[in-house]
Amino acid sequence: MDIHLRDLLCSLSHIVLCAILASAGVDGGSLRRQTATCTETSVVDIESNAGVKIEPIEQSRVYIETLSTPFDDGHTLRFEFNTKSGNGTLFYAVRRNDIYDMVSAEISDGYVQFKIRCRSSYADLTIPGIRVDDGEWHRIKFHRKKRKGIFLLDDLEYFEHYYVGCGGFTSVNFGSTHRDHDDSFSVRELQNKNGHLSGCIRNVKITTGIDTPPKYTAISQCN
């Protein structure tokens, strides 16, 4: 795989600002692995077990701009996170050139809340009884089965198979909102209601594969 990196900056606090330009090669049905290195011991890779740290600043995020196949029937997104933030965006998935369709997972007052924003379905699904702002590792899984959404936290399924009427999602963002989606009514809702996530995300797996490598902005290693 040939990887071209530009504008790789490391501050004294080891925050990495990465602008990733291009990548060639295919890594099966999983994410193409894209890493950014400040030193020989400082490698960030959201797909790896080491993961990345989302910093408590507005620009800190990991953005997968283009999935190889729209995230629709039969596809799965899974990842692990830890945080002590009581509020913040974990991820959201949107459709290109669509200002409404979105599915997201966020932390609201210490609990995971899934949001469904489709023209034919609208829901806020909060998982009770399990606080996730405890600094421990937790697991998220979102699977689509036709027009049903299957939501899991720590390998336990909640809400049975909830109706998700959106079409196939084309982009996924982790950690905060992205300016590319400022026109989205649903993403604006995330901007208005949540604080910024400060925590780690690792072992991201998306069965669609991706066409563009993850873009890392203002993140650091997860220790």
DSSP codes joined into one string, 114-141: EEEEETTEEEEEEEEEEE--SSS-EEEE
- CATH number for the region 3-221 comes to 2.60.120.200
pLDDT in tens, 118-154: 988 899 999 989 999 999 999 999 999 988 999 999 9
pLDDT in tens, 79-109: 999 999 999 999 999 999 898 999 999 999 9
Asked whether residue 155 carries a pLDDT value surpassing 70, the answer given is: yes
Q: Which pLDDT band, with edges at 50, 70 and 90, does 192 fall under?
A: low
From the list 13, 107, 25, 94, the residue with the least C-alpha distance to 57 is 13
Full DSSP string of the chain: --EEEEEEEE-TT--EEEEEEEE----TTSPPP--EEEETTEEEBTTSSSBEEE-SSTT-EEEE--BSS-B-TT-EEEEEEEE--SSEEEEEEE-TT-SS-EEEEEEETTEEEEEEEETTEEEEEEEEEEE--SSS-EEEEEEEETTEEEEEETTEEEEEEEE-----B-EEEESS--GGGTT-HHHHHHHHH-----EEEEEEEETT-BSSPPEEESEEE--
Asked whether residue 31 carries a pLDDT value surpassing 70, the answer given is: no
The whole-number average pLDDT for the span 196-212 is 93
For residue 24, how many C-alpha atoms fall within 13 Å in the half-sphere facing its CB? 2
Task: Assess contact for 36 and 5: CB atoms under 8 A.
Answer: yes
* Cα separation values, 179 from 36, 61, 83, 134, 198, Å: 22, 11, 24, 30, 19
Q: Which pLDDT band, with edges at 50, 70 and 90, does 195 fall under?
A: low
Q: Which of 50-54, 63-67, 179-183 is predicted with the least confidence, judged by mean pLDDT?
A: 179-183
Asked whether residue 6 carries a pLDDT value surpassing 70, the answer given is: no
% of the chain exceeding 90 in pLDDT: 57
Beta bridge partners of 53: 200, 220
The whole-number average pLDDT for the span 202-218 is 94
Asked whether residue 30 carries a pLDDT value surpassing 80, the answer given is: no
List the chain domain ranges. Answer: 3-221
Name which residue leads in pLDDT, 24 or 108: 108
Report the 10 Å Cβ neighbour count for 160: 9
First to last CA, the chain: 27
Give just the sign of the alpha carbon dihedral 188, 189, 193, 197.
negative
From the list 223, 220, 221, 201, the residue with the least C-alpha distance to 57 is 220
Q: Which pLDDT band, with edges at 50, 70 and 90, does 196 fall under?
A: confident
